[in-house]
Amino acid sequence: MNRVQRHRGPDGDGVFEDPRAPLNLGHVRLSILDLTPSAAQPMHSADGRYVLSYNGEIYNFRELRAQLEAKGRTFRSSGDTEVLLQGLAEEGAAFLPRLNGMYALALWDRLTGSLLLARDPIGVKPLYYAQIDPRTLVFASEIKTLCAHPKLLRRPNFAAIQQHLSYIYASGEHTALQDVMRLPAGATLQWRPEGVEPPRIERFFDWRLGPTDAQGINAPQAYAQESAHLRDALATAVSRQMVADTPVGSLLSGGLDSSLITALANRDIGAALRCFTITTPTAENQLDQAADDAPYARQLAADLHLPLHEIALRPKVADLWPQLVWHLDEPLSDPAAISCYLVSKLARDQGVPVLLSGQGADELFCGYPRYWAMQQTRGLDTLPQSARHLLAGAARLLPGARPGRLGALSRRVRRVLSEAALPPQQRFLNLCANTPQSAMDAIYTRAFADQLHGERGIDACYAAMTARPESLEQAQRWRDLTVYLPNHNLNYLDKMGMAQSIEARVPLLDLEITARAARYPANWLVQGRVIKRILRSASQGIVPDAIIHRRKAGFGAPYRKWLRHDLAPMWEDVSQGETARTRGWFDPAALAQARTRSQEGVEDLYMLQWGVLTTELWARAFLDRNPATDSP
């Protein structure tokens, strides 16, 4: 199992086998803090009772160490691993809420014969598990590692695969493999290998959104005061996450979030901070019309006198994407993963193993255009249903996949208004989706559809949202923070970084920041056409106004162009080839029609094509072959 995920820790490995119990722990080490052998894992407590294997960073470990020393604890190393071990030995799972960091951990108690797994509150670090039989539980940071166990069944989870096609990731705890689960963010799993009881999962963290003091929130000067407090908290959070015994760099896209982090990190270490960005050549971008971030990244780096390393997005995508699907573990069909991987590779080649990322700000501060769209279309709910159906029908007549700026504008208008007839929460989830249910239903074979038992891609998430006690806006924010963020953005950030042995850190998800932002009222986050309002206010004086006020740009890739040209032979194989036909999930004629409609500009079904292509590549890597023994 260590061998399979060696890329996550090329600096060392270790294995613990309990001679008195059927328990083995493995660890591969990426050395960031305390580079000496004294920080090697699995790490044993001084009395030999506890053994810890953990991935991540605890940013407040120095404060926690001082508190533990005041209780009489002594330490043999200088990093965070022993602090985590001693804190768990002292307080058990009650120690977890005191941690400010990102982690996936396994703690074995040799005295009681009990295992504790835990994952950080936000879900920055992944943790998967599978119960092979009542007495066998396997767990790891990556799904492919679990596949090293000879008795793990690699069976497709069709409901999760449909969610990947719709949203490009799976909701909840299920993965694309039926027998593999993800431990929820902010949860523990406790288990004993006797097999008497099943694993017990408990939450130690949940989001509580919305203001706790409505009167105080609306008091004069409250917004300005909180903007200033947030500015100070952001500076503290970035400084806290700069701790490392290796070089630290920044993923500088040129957007607000990465620019803010870079500017604050520059205050700590100056020109020692190296920045990395990716550019999309104009010739590659005619159809997709992705925003050009590079000028903003270059200007900020120049203003701060920081070195900026650039890489042009011209991958041999037909060779690269199958490798990345293997690293991603699931058919997570977001082309942005390619950009993330290439920037991580650039940083690793420059000798920088730690990168700061702006991930999480859009979920925490409502930075996605869908928040603005939902606010601006509230009036739709007051119209007669007949009028809303008429508006939705008219919107669907707009061209959906034309090139150029007008084509991009037409796609956005069509996307928002075609949902006009739906209730708010379903409208929101459809705006989150990359492919409408009707388009997916059209390509399914009868055999695939039968496996879904009538379930739609939206259903699991819709049920969870409508069961929440919060307001509509808070439930939407809850969904992005608990489903989209850990299962998608943080998932591919971790996997693409670790594919190059890069530790990606997310200072804007520091627990002090999340605790503050969770209680902000809606108008502090979205007001009029301004999204991420209070973060923009807090950034004033730190980031240039041109960056603060620029429109949101996604961290994407020219996938439409790739599908039409670079990946045309691969598309022919995965949609019409013998392997795909034998698998029998998708109708070849319907796939050909979807491609034609996209290329003729009638409907934007390129993400459906990307999802199908990714799903077939994943099936070949994880179902047809064993990813633990056969990597691309």
Q: Which residues are annotated as a binding site?
A: 80, 251, 278, 357-358
| Phi, then psi, of 260 in degrees rounded to 5 | -65, -45
Binding residues for ATP: 251, 278, 357-358
Amino acid at 129: Y
How far apart are alpha carbons 196 and 149 in whole angstroms? 22
How far apart are alpha carbons 103 and 127 in whole angstroms? 9
Which residues, 6 or more positions from 176, have their beta carbon under 8 angstroms from its beta carbon?
Answer: 156, 157, 160, 161, 164, 170, 330, 331, 618, 622
For every residue of 493-550, DSSP letters joined together read: HHHHHHTTT-EEE-GGG-HHHHHHHHT--HHHHEETTEESHHHHHHHBTTB-HHHHTS
Q: Which of 563, 567, 603 is nearest to 439 (CA)?
A: 603
- Buried b / exposed e over 366-398, threshold 16 CB at 10 Å, is bbbbbbbbbbebeebeeeeeeebeebbeebeeb
β-strand 526-527 against 187-191: which pairing, if any?
A: unpaired
Helix axis angle for 222-240 and 511-518, nearest 10°, is 160
Q: How many Cβ atoms from other residues are within 10 Å of residue 6's Cβ?
A: 11
How far apart are alpha carbons 232 and 230 in whole angstroms? 5
Query: Do the Cβ atoms of 255 and 525 come closer than 8 Å?
Result: no
Which residues, 6 or more positions from 616, have their beta carbon under 8 angstroms from its beta carbon?
Answer: 574, 575, 579, 580, 583
Query: Do the Cβ atoms of 146 and 130 come closer than 8 Å?
Result: yes
Query: Do the Cβ atoms of 402 and 567 come closer than 8 Å?
Result: no
What is the 8-class DSSP label of residue 552? Answer: P
Binding residues for L-glutamine: 80
Could you write out the three-class secondary structure of 399-429? CCCCCHHHHHHHHHHHHHHCCCCCCHHHHHH
Query: Do the Cβ atoms of 54 and 84 come closer than 8 Å?
Result: yes
How far apart are alpha carbons 623 and 626 in whole angstroms? 7
How far apart are alpha carbons 203 and 308 in whole angstroms? 41
What is the 8-class DSSP label of residue 29? Answer: B
